[in-house]
Amino acid sequence: MRLSDLYFLMPLLILVGAATLNMLVVAVKRNHKVIFGITIVAHLVAVFTLLQLNGSSYQIPPFFVMDGWGIFNLGLILLTSLFVTLLSYAYFEQREERKEEYYLLLILATLGACVLVISQHFMALFLGLEILSVALYSLIAYLRTRERSDEAGIKYLILAALSSAFLLFGMALVYAVTGTMSFPEIGVYLQSVSELPLLLLTGFGLMIVGIGFKLGIVPFHMWAPDVYEGAPAPVTAFIATVSKGGMMGLLIRFFSQADAYRYANLMLIFTIIAIASMLAGNLLALRQKNIKRLLAYSSIAHLGYILVAFLAGNRLGVEAVSFYLVAYFITSLGAFGVVALLSDTERDADQLEDYRGLFWRRPATAAVFTAMLLSLAGIPLTAGFVGKFYILASGVNTQQWLLVLMLVLNSVIGLYYYIKVIAAMFAQTKSVQERRKVLHPALSFASGGAMAILGLLLIWIGVYPTSLVQLIRGLLATFMTTF
Amino acid sequence: MTGSLFYFLTFLTLFAALGVVFSKNPVYSVLFLILTFFSLSGHYILLNAQFVAAVNIIVYAGAIMVLFLFVIMFLNLNMDTEQAQKKSVLTKVAGAISGGLLLVIMIAVLKDAEVGSYDPENFDSQIGLVENLGHLLFTKYLLPFELASVLFLVAMVGAVMLGKKETQQRHF
C-alpha cells in the first residue's frame, strides 16, 4: 500500500465512511432526513473526488486498476446510485417500516459495484460481487410485510448464492490451469498456449454462469421478473442499472485484459446468449400486464443488445457499450422512478390499469414515462435511439450480420409493448377513476427534480450525442486493452 | 510412519463418508459427517496445512455441524419418519444414474488433468502456518482483507434488519 493508493481509492473510502457515519447516526437517533442528506452528500463528494483523478491509468497491484474505463464506470455507478437515492426518499417516507438501514445498504451495494468495475483480480472481483449481492438480498426483501417481497428475496438469495458457487468454481479451475488470479497475467498465459486448454474452457464456462446470472441474460434470467416485481421500486431500479452495469464493466475488462476475444467457441456461447436474450426478453414481454415484469423482460432484451456491441470486441464496440449503458441507465431510472412516484402505501403501481388515463391525471409524469418508453424502444430524438444506432454500427463494422438482423427484428417486436403502455396512458377513461391518494406533495420535490433532470438528459443526449461520445472517447483512451 | 498414517486416515475418511450415506438415522449421519471432517483435517495436517486443518474443524465440524444437528432435531427427523416415506424404485434409479454420470465426468476430467508436483529442493515447510498467512493478509492482501470486513458488515446489517421484529421497530 502506498499513500497515493488511498488517493485513487478515495471514492470507495468515502462510501465506506458514509456507511459507518450513517450507522453511528442511526445509533444516536433515527431521522430519515439526516440519513438521506448524508447519503446524498457522500455520493456528491465521491463523484467530486473521482473528477479530481485525471484519466491516467493507475495500478494498485495486483487487485485494482484505475483507468479510463474504470473511472467511467465508477462515475456512472455513483451518479446512478445518487439518482436512486433521490427517488427513494419520497418512496420510503410514506412507508411504515424502518427507513434508515435502506440507505446504509444502498451505499454498501454501490461500494460493491464500484469494487467490481475496477478490479483486475479474481479475489477483488469476488469480494465486490459478494458485497453487492449480500446487500441486494436484504434490499430486495426490505419491505418484508409486502406480499411478494419474501418470495423475491429468497429467490434471489438462493439463485445468487448458487451462481456465486459456479463463479467460484470456475475461478478455481482457471487458477488451477494458469496459476494466477490476475487478469493481465491470465492474458500472458493465454498468449503462451496455442489453443484454449479444456480445463480452462470449463472454467470460463462456469464463470459465464455466474456472470450471466448477474446480467440476467437467457438462460439465467428466470429470477428477473419475480425479483423485479417483489422488490421495492427504487431497489428494482438499482438492480436494473448498477448491478447489471457493474457486471458488464467487469466482463469487458476481463475479456480485454485477458484477450479472450480471439477464442471462437467463447464468442459462439455469447452469440447464442445474446440472440436468445433478445428473443426471449421481447417475446415474453408481449403479453405482460404488469409494468415491473414488463420492464424486467425488456431489460433482458436490452442486455442482449449490449452483448451485440460487446461481441464486436474492438474499441468501437466498447464505446457503443458505454454509450448504451448511459442511455439504458437513464431510461431505466426514469421508468422505475415513475413507478416509484405513483406507488402508494399499500403496493407499488405495477399494473397496467394504474397507468390507464395517466396523462389526464398527471400530465408531467406521463410525459416523462412516455419519453422513457420511447427511448427504450429506440425512437429518434431520445438517447436510446443513438445508443442502438451505435450498437448497430459496431455490429456492421465487424460484419456480424446475424446479430445485426436479430437486433433490428427485435427492436420492431419491442415497439409493440412499449407503445401499448403509452397508448394506455393516453386513453380517455370514461368512468372517473377515484384519484389515488397522492401522499407526498411537498416531499416529492427530490423525486420530481430527479425525474425532470433524467428527462432532460435523455432528450439532450438524443439530440446532441457528440459531447457524451467525446467524453467516452477521452476516457477510453487510457483503457488498457489488447486491441 | 506418515505413509501408514495417510492410509489409516484415508480408510477412516472413506468409512465415515460411507457411514453418512448409509446410516438410516439422520443423527448418526451427522455424527459420521463430523468424523469425516476430523479425518479430512488430519489429511490437511499431513499436507502441512495446519491453518486449513484448524479452520476446517472450527467452521465445519464446529459451527456448521451444530446447525445441522439443530435443524434435524427441530424437524424431529428420526428412524420412523425415514422409514415412513418409502422411496420409489424410480427415485433410486434416477439417483444412481445421476451419481454415476457425475462419477464419469469426474474421471474424464481428472484423467487428463495436470497436477502440479512439488519440488523438494525449494519446498518451504513454513508455508501453511498461521504466521505466514497473517503476514500475507496484512501486507499484500490488505485491501481484500478490509473488503471482507465490509462484506461482514453488510451481512450483519442485512440479517439484523430482516430478522428484527416489526412491532418494536422504533427504538433499539
Give per-residue pLDDT as tens, A31-83: 888 999 999 999 999 999 998 886 678 888 888 998 889 999 999 999 999 99
Of chain B, the percentage scoring pLDDT greater than 70 comes to 86
Residue B172 domain flag = no
Q: Comparing C-alpha atoms, which of A260, A264, A158, A251 is closest to residue A211?
A: A251
Choice among A129-143, A429-443, B119-133 with the minimum mean pLDDT: A429-443
Read off the pTM: 0.89
Distance from CA of B80 to the nearest CA of A (A): 30
Could you give the CA distance from residue A291 to residue A482 in angstroms, rounded to a whole number?
Answer: 42
- Together in a domain, B5 and B81: yes
pLDDT tens sequence across B113-138: 766 676 777 777 777 778 888 888 88
Instruction: Return the pLDDT at B140.
Output: 86
Instruction: Among B21, B56, B86, give the residue marking a domain's end.
Output: B86
Q: Do B170 and A123 touch (CB under 8 A)?
A: no
Q: Which of B161, B170, B172 lies at the smallest CB-CB distance from A138?
A: B161
CB within 8 Å: A135 and B158: yes
Which among A327, A315, A324 is positioned nearest to A479, based on CA atoms? A315
pLDDT tens digits along A69-99: 999 999 999 999 999 999 998 888 877 777 8
Please check whether residue B118 lies inside any domain of the structure.
Answer: no
**Which residues of chain B are within 8 Å of residue A111 when distances are taken between CB atoms?**
150
Q: What is the mean pLDDT of residues A174-181?
A: 90
Mutation pick from A35, A65, A114, A130 vs chain B, by most beta carbons of B within 10 Å, is A130
The reported pLDDT for the residue numbered B112 is 75
Residue B105 lies in a domain: no
CB under 8 Å to A42, separation ≥6 — which residues?
Answer: A14, A15, A17, A18, A21, A107
The partner residue sitting opposite B151, judged by closest CB among A27, A127, A144, is A127
Distance to chain B for A4, nearest Cα, Å: 14
Same domain, B151 and B74: no
Check if the beta carbon of residue A309 is closer than 8 Å to that of residue A265: no
Contact B166 A141 (CB under 8 A): no
Q: Are the Cβ atoms of A131 and B147 closer than 8 angstroms?
A: yes
Do residues A91 and A234 touch, judged by C-beta distance below 8 A? Answer: yes
Which of B51, B86, B121 finishes a domain?
B86
Contacts with A58 from chain B: Cβ below 8 Å: none
CB pairs under 8 A between A and B: 70
Domain-located, residue B120: no
Q: Residue B3's domain is classified under what CATH number?
A: 1.20.120.1200
Residues B81, B133 share a domain: no
Same domain, B82 and B140: no
In a domain, B115, yes or no: no
Query: Cβ contact (<8 Å) for A134 and B142?
Result: no
Residue B6 sits in which domain range?
1-86
Tell me whether residue B17 is in a domain.
Answer: yes
Query: A156 CB contacts (<8 Å, ≥6 apart)?
Result: A136, A137, A140, A223, A227
The pLDDT value given to residue B172: 43
CB-CB neighbors (< 8 A) of B113 in chain A: 176, 199
pLDDT (tens digit per residue) in A297-346? 999 999 999 999 999 888 899 999 999 999 999 999 999 999 988 887 77
Q: CA-nearest residue of chain B to A143?
A: B162
pLDDT recorded at residue B132: 84
CB-CB: which of A97, A111, A202 is closest to B150?
A111
Per-residue pLDDT, B48: 82
How close, in Å, is residue A427 to chain B by CA atoms? 41
Chain B's closest residue to A125, CA to CA, is B144
Say if residue B137 is in the same domain as residue B76: no
Cβ neighbours of B155 in A, within 8 Å: 134
Per-residue b/e over A190-208, b at no fewer than 16 CB within 10 Å?
beeeeebbebbbbbbebbb
Query: What pLDDT score does B171 carry?
Result: 46
Q: Pull the grid cell for residue A102.
A: 435502506
pLDDT at A125: 94
pLDDT at A98: 79
**Residue B170 to residue A30, Cβ atoms within 8 A:** yes
User: Any chain A CB within 8 A of the CB of B161?
Assistant: yes
User: Partners of A59 in the beta sheet?
Assistant: A65
Residue A123 and residue B141: Cβ atoms within 8 Å?
A: yes
> Pick from B109, B148, B159: which is nearest to A127 by CB?
B148
Test B147 with A124 for CB contact under 8 angstroms. Answer: yes
pLDDT value of position B166 = 63
Task: Write the CB contacts of A384 (distance below 8 Å, at least 6 apart in sequence).
Answer: A327, A328, A331, A374, A375, A376, A377, A378, A458, A462
Asked if residue B149 belongs to a domain, the reply is: yes
Could you read off the pLDDT of A447-480 as tens digits, one per residue? 888 899 999 999 999 999 999 999 898 888 877 6
> Nearest Cα to A477, choosing from A35, A54, A150?
A54
Task: Flag whether residue B66 sits within 8 Å of chain A, measured between CB atoms.
Answer: no
> B73 and B135: one domain?
no
**Residue numbers in A near B166 (CB within 8 A):** 97, 144-145
- Count of domains observed in chain B: 2
Q: Which residue has the higher pLDDT, B165 or A196?
A: A196
Contact B154 A131 (CB under 8 A): yes
B19 vs chain A: nearest CA distance in angstroms?
Answer: 27
Each residue of A227-262: pLDDT tens digit? 999 999 999 999 999 999 999 999 999 998 888 888
**What pLDDT, on the 0 to 100 scale, is given for residue A442?**
57
Q: Using CA atoms, how far apart are residues A395 and A405, in angstroms rounded to an integer?
A: 10
